[in-house]
Amino acid sequence: MTTTNKPTPAANRSTFGDHFRPRSPSTLLRKLLSPFWGTGIEGHKCVWDEDKDNHLRYFKRNNYWRHLKTSRIDAHFDGSATLFGMNWVGNDRGVETVVWNGVRYWLFLAMIDIDCHGKGSDRGADAARKAINDFVPGVWWEPSTSGLGFHGYLGVLVRTGDDVTPPFENLEVAMKRLVKHSGADVTGVEVKGRPATVDHQRRGYQTLGTTLKGGDHFKLPRGVKVRYDEFLGSPALTHDDIQAVAKTVAAHTSAVPAAPPAPDYRDHAGSCGELVTPECIAQARTLMPRALRHVASLGLPIQRVCRRVIDNDVFAAVIVCRMIAPTKKDGSVSVRRIGRVWDALYDDGVLARRFNPAVFAAARNALTDKGCIDWQDEEFWFGHTYAGEEVRGRACRWDIDPDMKDRIASPRLPIPSGGECVDTPFNRHFGKRPVLNLDRGRQAVPRYRETQIRLIRTAQAVEWHERNGYEWRRAA
């Protein structure tokens, strides 16, 4: 593969130590991060209450915050515990402010997560790390907690008063594009550390209430205690620096012929072999808009699980992944198989979210309550060894309701007026029924106005289909 010259870093880029150099790494983490920390106790998961009010009450006692103690940080450095931190911005002191080139900035800690859990290898993770270093030199790297992949840490400078989310999003888009172009054998790359917005309602010295919005946790660096000076040499990028990196990555990936893509459709190990093929991706692109239309007509309530909102796109994704996921000989489909298919559709841009087992289970239960899932056998067990013999695991046997599956697989789709027409561009863009979502603060449409919308769209549908030669007929 022919490559261009490696980009040279900008001369005016600063390092972490240029802005913030405390006496110890524990002081650095305590001052940079918010008091809303979490611990990893099982499977390296972060302790986080789904109710943010309960989470805030845990960290507050008698109007004083439970700050991160040095003993906990030392336990994290020694490997006996796993700590997660979160950046924050609020109307109270706590966020570190620095001045660079006469401009005042907020200083945040960001983490580049190279993931190899679903697929990938150590060699692929190292290739992705080297590709990122070519465009953002000096990033401080350490192996991930599981041993597969890397975590890279750097500073992000945001002008005081500006929106804190775009720099992290732009950096993540550039890193995803760069790693995909490099052909590294990894599951993906993410940029974590988006700050949370903390608002304290006060009356004098009394705190009346505290609200916490947004933000995501990330694992704190573990080897910084030994390599502290090297950590202070990691880059601190402003939003302008990140945009310059994004432009350089875009020019590099568009000018250079892309490397042969990683075998996304290769045979996976274990019982998940040959799951994702180009035919499956094409089929999912066709089924997804149809499933969205049918799910919208069910009126499923919006739920919140694992800090994620379960909306119609999640319900449609459950249906589509179950329809295209290959079944085993006994007719069952494991959650692992569906997760592999889900993540593959996410990588190809068909789905907007990655697979989450808890979110998947909640969406599947909601579809079951609506009668959209046909349960054949709810019994399951994991693979284990019994009496010296290996017993293979067994998954539940369930499938999408046959009538619903036929409606989604058929090119004929119902329209709001009760008629039925083929899947045409008109139906994809103009045939959507107005969905009222009060949870998101939208104003409810009066019933008479909704009836007017249906009649107008029915007339438009008949005229459009007759003019373009498509078939249209009334539903029986």
Tokens of 227: 């390599």
Residue 432's alpha-carbon distances to 71, 374, 414, 448, in angstroms, are: 57, 27, 10, 17
Q: What is the mean pLDDT of residues 309-332?
A: 78
Tokens of 26: 């524990």
337 contacts 343 by C-beta, under 8 angstroms: no
Which residue has tokens 């006060």?
202
| Residue 405 reports pLDDT greater than 50 | yes
444 pLDDT band, cuts 50/70/90, is very low
Q: Are residues 467 and 379 in the same domain?
A: no
268 in a structural domain: no
Are 58 and 146 part of one and the same domain? yes
- Is the per-residue pLDDT at 7 higher than 70? no
Give the whole-angstrom CA distance, residue 324 versus residue 319.
Answer: 9
Note the pLDDT tens digit of each residue in 243-256: 999 999 988 887 54
- Can you tell me the distance from the alpha carbon of 282 to that of 272, in angstroms, rounded to the nearest whole number? 20
pLDDT at 409 (0 to 100): 77
> Which pLDDT score is estimated for 420?
45
Handedness of CA 73, 133, 189, 127 (dihedral sign): negative
Residues 339 and 434 in one domain: no
Predicted TM-score (pTM) above 0.85: no
Quote the number of domains for the chain.
Answer: 3
Greater confidence (279 vs 455) lies with 279
Are 242 and 173 spatial neighbours (Cβ–Cβ below 8 Å)? no
Domain end call among 409, 436, 466: 409
Provide the percentage of residues in the chain whose pLDDT is more than 70: 65
Orientation of helix 312-324 relative to helix 402-409, angle to 10°: 90
Higher pLDDT, 205 or 99: 99
Mean pLDDT to the nearest integer, 156-185? 88
Mean pLDDT to the nearest integer, 98-106: 85
Domain presence at residue 9: no
pLDDT tens per residue, range 349-370 = 788 778 888 888 888 888 888 8
pLDDT of residue 418: 42
Question: Which amino acid is located at 185 in the chain?
Answer: D
pLDDT tens across 116-131, in order?
876 778 888 889 999 9
Q: Which residues pair with 120 in a beta bridge?
A: 186
Residues 430 and 316 in one domain: no
Q: 390 and 311 in one domain?
A: yes
Half-sphere exposure of 417 (CA within 13 A, CB side): 20
DSSP letter string over 136-205? STT-EEEE-TTSSEEEEEEEEEEETTS-SSHHHHHHHHHHHHHHHHHT--EEEEEEE-PPEEEEEEEETT
Least confident of 57-66, 142-151, 391-400: 57-66
Q: Which of 17-21, 288-292, 328-332, 431-435 has the lowest average pLDDT?
A: 431-435
Establish if 430 belongs to a structural domain.
Answer: yes
* Helical (H) or strand (E) element with 402: helix 402-409
d(C-alpha 235, C-alpha 154), whole Å: 6
Residue 264 maps to a domain: no
Tokens read off for 112:
């580049």
Provide the pLDDT confidence category of residue 312 given band limits of 50, 70 and 90: confident
Task: Indicate if 165 and 283 belong to the same structural domain.
Answer: no
Domain boundary among the residues 390, 409, 428 is at 409
Same domain, 180 and 306: no
The helix or strand, by DSSP H or E, that contains position 397, with its residue range, turns out to be strand 397-400
Closest CA to 250 of 11, 10, 4: 4
224-277 confidence digits (pLDDT tens): 888 888 888 899 999 999 999 999 998 888 754 444 444 443 433 334 445 677
Same domain? For 401 and 427 the reply is no
**Is 36:213 a contact under the CB 8 Å cutoff?**
no
Say how far apart CA 299 and CA 210 lie, in whole Å: 34
Flag whether 156 is in a domain. yes
- Other beta carbons within 10 angstroms of residue 335's beta carbon come to 16
Averaging pLDDT over each range in 20-24, 36-40, 183-187, 298-302, which range is the top one? 183-187
CA distance 25 to 293: 53
**Tokens linked to 354:** 């990655």
| 260 within some domain | no
Same domain for 462 and 390, yes or no, is: no
Which of 63-72, 179-188, 290-299 has the largest mean confidence?
Answer: 179-188
Q: What is the pLDDT of residue 131?
A: 92
Whether the predicted pLDDT of 175 surpasses 60: yes
Q: What is the pLDDT of residues 134-163, one digit of tens each?
A: 999 999 999 887 777 889 999 999 888 777
In which band, very low, low, confident or very high, does the pLDDT at 311 lie, cut at 50, 70 and 90?
A: confident
* Residue bearing tokens 């239309």: 293
In this structure, is residue 454 part of a structural domain? yes
Name the domain boundary from 255, 287, 302. 255
Tell me which residue range forms the domain holding 468.
412-474
Between CA 140 and CA 138 the distance in angstroms is 6
- The mean pLDDT of 325-351, rounded to a whole number, is 80
Q: What is the pLDDT of residues 461-472, one digit of tens each?
A: 666 555 655 554
Separation of alpha carbons 337 and 340, rounded Å = 5
- Please tell me the predicted confidence (pLDDT) of residue 4: 47
| CA atoms of 107 and 14, how far apart (whole Å) | 12
Q: Average model confidence (pLDDT) for the chain? A: 72
Shared-domain flag, residues 71 and 147:
yes
* Cα–Cα distance, 250 to 265 (Å, whole number): 25
224 and 182: one domain?
A: yes
Share of the chain above pLDDT 90, in %: 9
pLDDT score, position 178? 92
The DSSP letter of residue 313 is H
- The verdict on 392 and 419 lying in the same domain is no
Q: Does some domain include residue 272?
A: no
